[in-house]
Structure 1
């Protein structure tokens, strides 16, 4: 009788190797993805908000898809049971929703101007929290199916995007000026996007490492 040798299971990423792989791959994925909205924002800078809305949302979907694909490629090595397609779709959907929320103030600027200051402040706070929580919440709905007690991913992702967006604004705002060539505006945005991608990837990478059983 011939006995088949048991096949070795593929190594599962944990600890330092998981963090380093996540930081590299996800930073690249988010940078490439964010370059699309950066270019779209430069191209539509002179357009009306409504005219630019469709282009920006489509670019946001591309960014979310790129981010989701990069993250899923690493997560499948740490959580082999992760449904990668659902993760990518959830990330893309969360990104589009985030862009919708982010563009609401400018889209409804005329109506917002008529509201009391207290209502504006409260509305801005609610929208800001909702924007930061969109991707993390969408991803957690998938993550919880393979990683119990992972609800902290929502808060962690929100903090990661808050830090990343802060770095992006601190870097880009002093460099952007009216009348600059579109190529320069896009280049500044892309550089800021790389910094943002690295920050968000580092924060979420630390959290993911701690969540692993």
Structure 2
């Protein structure tokens, strides 16, 4: 567990991890579609693959800063598996991991929604003119996706960086480390009912 406050390097790693996770996830999904076809029975597996790829890449960046960071992988995989591009539910599953040790972790749910929508709108805005100017070319779609993923990664990296910094500052003021945090078991009553 890192004792330093995360900084620009964390932001850069998170952004790259998000883009790389999406790229690897899409490649795995395309391979699955090529092998198994594109029926409705494949959709949950496709979303699990995409969520797993993103979760692994982001987990690698989070593990020095977040206790029990391996849960991030599971949360992202389940969020991607259940919802696909409905980023608010992915944010909700990830929030379940963050809330045990990051103050104001609820911001993460809205951040995922806003970043996901920004990514989608940027993809639509960029891909339209590219398709007209370059024709239907795989590189034009890939470039538009890359730009959208970079924006999504950058926005979520900025918010995660702020949340982790705030968490570290609060813990330092209390004389505690993230390793000494009590773990709160997941209880649906605490998730669904206000405190």
Q: Normalising to structure 2: TM-score of the pair? A: 0.70
Q: Matched residue pairs, number?
A: 162
Distance 1:167-1:17 versus aligned 2 partners, 3 A rule:
same
- Ranges in structure 1 where 5+ consecutive residues have no aligned partner: 1-8, 103-130
1:151 alignment partner in structure 2: 106
Q: Which has the larger radius of gyration?
A: 1
Alignment match of 1:197 (pick from 131, 138, 149): 149
Instruction: Note the alpha carbon deviations across 1:33-55, whole angstroms, 9 max, x for none.
Output: 134446777x6xxx8xxx62223
- Ranges in structure 2 where 5+ consecutive residues have no aligned partner: 167-195
Distance 1:10-1:144 versus aligned 2 partners, 3 A rule:
closer
Instruction: Note the alpha carbon deviations across 1:139-170, whole angstroms, 9 max, x for none.
Output: 00011122232110001111000001111222
1:76 alignment partner in structure 2: 63
Distance 1:141-1:16 versus aligned 2 partners, 3 A rule:
same
Q: Normalising to structure 1: TM-score of the pair? A: 0.64
Distance 1:190-1:55 versus aligned 2 partners, 3 A rule:
farther
Check the 8 A contact 2:19/2:146 in 1, yes or no: yes
1:135 alignment partner in structure 2: 90
Instruction: Note the alpha carbon deviations across 1:97-150, whole angstroms, 9 max, x for none.
Output: 223xx7xxxxxxxxxxxxxxxxxxxxxxxxxxxx23111001000111222321
Check the 8 A contact 2:11/2:158 in 1, yes or no: yes
Check the 8 A contact 1:156/1:207 in 2, yes or no: yes
Alignment match of 1:89 (pick from 62, 74, 92): 74
